[in-house]
Amino acid sequence: MTEPTPAVRDRALSLRPAELPAYIYDLASLRDHAAAVRDALPERVELYYAAKANPEPEILAALGPYVDGYEVSSGGELAHVAEAVPGRPLAFGGPGKTPDEVAAALGAGVERFHVESAYELRVLAELARAHAPGRRVAVLPRVNLPVADGSLAGSSLAMGGRPTPFGTDPAQTVEIVRALTDGTYPHLELRGIHAHLASGLEAAEQVAVAESIVSWATGLGVPLAEVNVGGGMHVDYADPERRFDWAAYGKGLARLTEAHPGLTLRIEPGRALTAYCGWYATEVLDVKRSHGEEFAVVRGGTHHLRTPATKGHDQPCSVLPVDSWPHPWPRPAAEGERITLAGQLCTPKDVLARRVPAAGLRAGDLVVFSLAGAYAWNISHHDFLMHPGPGFHFLSPRDGSAG
C-alpha cells in the first residue's frame, strides 16, 4: 500500500513538529508481506534477505521467521547482522572484500562466501588455511553471465551481462570452478554458483534469468549443491500499488527445482521485501510560487531520503492534513493543483517528488512518503553498506606541521 497503514498514520499524526521528520516502520505489515513471499516460494528455494536494503536490527529480526539467512556485503554488515540476528546463516558477498574482512568472516564461521574474482579466491584460500583449519569453507563463485534473450533489458540497475566490477566472466568462472575441484585449494569446497545480474526485473524476466543461470551452472559438469540466482525483484515507484508477482515467480522456480532434483535454489531479494514497510513522515514548512510553479518545502529532504535522487523518480507520498495552526501569523497554502515537494537543502537537487497532486496543501500539514523501507535512510547517510569511513588529513606544511 502507499497510503500509510492506520498505525503509521496515527504515529505520524502523534509526533510533534520537532520530532519530524521520522522514519516509521510497520513491522506487522512487513511480517505479513514476508510470510506471503515465503508462501509463494516452492520447497528447495531458500530465501536470504540482502541486508544492504535495510539493516535496521528490528527489520532483520522481524524477517527472521520467514528467511533462511541473510546476505551481507561488507565486514561491517557481517558484524552487524551477526549481532542483530545471532546464529542465523550468513552469505558473505560483495566486491572488494579486504583480507581483514575475510579473516573476520572465517573467524565468525560464515557459512558461504560469494567469491567475486580469482584473486579473492586466492586470498580466501590462504586465509582459510590459517583461520579455519579443519573445515572446508563453502564457496559460490559469482558469475557475470550474459543473458542472450534480453531478459535484463528491463533493468534499471544491471550488474551483469555487461562489463561491471561484479563477479567474473563465464570463462574466468570456469577457471575458478576448476581450481575449486582439482585439488588446488583443499581448504575450500565448491558449494555452488552465485549470480545477481540485475535489479528491477519483473517475475517473467526473473524466471528467465534464473533459468539461464541454472542451465549454465548445471552445464559445468561438476556436482553443485546450490545455485543462488540473486535478488532484484521489481518495485514500482511510479505505480506503487503494483507488486512483483511472487506467485508467478514461485511457479517458475518450481519448474526449475523439479527439473533439477537435488539442487537447492536460493534467492536474495532486498528492496522487494522491505520497501513497502517504511514511511518517511515530515511536515510542510513553507508553500510558495516560483516562476509559475508551486513548491512546498518540507522538513528534512534528500539527505534523509536519497532514494528519489539516486533513482531519478518521484517518491510516492500522501498528505495528512493537520487542521490546527499554532502560530499568530497567516498560514501559507497552495493555490494550484500540483506541488513540487522539496527539502531544506540549498540545492535544486533536493526534490523528493515533482508536481504531485496536493491541492490545498498548507504549511503544518504532514506529508508521508511511502516505499521508504529499502535503500532509503541507510543509503542516505555515510554508513551505507557499513564500510569504514575515510580518514581526514589536514596538511599545513607552512606552519611547520604535516598533521
Ligand X SMILES: Cc1ncc(COP(=O)(O)O)c(C=O)c1O
Instruction: Provide the annotated active-site residues.
Output: 346
Interface ranges with ligand X (CB under 6 A): 50, 53, 71, 93, 196, 199, 230-233, 268-272
Would you state the cell numbers that stand for residue 14, as one nine-digit string?
502523534
Separation between Cα atoms, residue 81 and residue 403, nearest integer Å: 36
Kindly state the smallest distance separating residue 50's Cβ from ligand X, in Å.
Answer: 4
The distance of closest approach from Cβ of residue 49 to ligand X in the complex, given in angstroms and rounded to an integer, is 9
Q: What is the CA 243 to chain-centroid distance, rounded? A: 16
Cα-based torsion angle of the residue sequence 37, 42, 46, 47 in order, rounded to the nearest 10 degrees? -10
Q: Which is nearer to ligand X, 50 or 371 (CB)?
A: 50
Closer residue to ligand X, CB minimum distance, 196 or 362: 196
Q: Which is nearer to ligand X, 269 or 300 (CB)?
A: 269
Helix axes 75-84, 99-107, angle to 10 degrees: 20
- Using an 8 Å Cβ cutoff, are 220 and 181 in contact? no
- Give whichever of 156 and 181 is closer to ligand X, judged by the CB atom: 156
Whichever of 143 and 296 has its CB closer to ligand X, that residue is: 143
Whole-angstrom Cα distance, residue 156 to residue 176? 29
Q: Which amino acid is at 343?
A: G
Least spacing, CB of residue 361 vs ligand X, in Å: 32
DSSP string, 180-235: HHSSS-TTEEE-EEE---EESB-HHHHHHHHHHHHHHHHTT-S--SEEE----B--
Of 102 and 297, nearer to ligand X (C-beta) is: 102
CB 351 to ligand X: min, Å: 23
Minimum Å gap between C-beta 167 and ligand X is: 9
150 CB contacts (<8 Å, ≥6 apart)?
A: none
The C-alpha atoms of residue 206 and residue 193 are separated, in whole angstroms, by 17
> How many residues in the chain?
403
Whole-number minimum distance, CB 23 to ligand X, in Å? 18
Nearer to ligand X, 63 or 356 (CB): 63
Handedness of CA 298, 301, 304, 309 (dihedral sign): positive
CB 13 within 8 A of CB 320: yes
CA distances to 65, 390, 391, 396 from 401, rounded to whole Å, are: 56, 21, 18, 6
Alpha-carbon span 225 to 62, nearest angstrom: 29
H/E run at residue 356: strand 351-357
Smallest distance, ligand X to C-beta of residue 278, A: 14
Q: What angle do CA 212, 216, 220 make, to 5 degrees?
A: 170
Q: How far is the CB of 333 from ligand X (least distance, A)?
A: 39
Cβ atoms within 10 Å, residue 44: 18
8 residue type, one letter: V
Instruction: Return the number of the residue (51 or 353) whose C-beta is nearest ligand X.
Output: 51
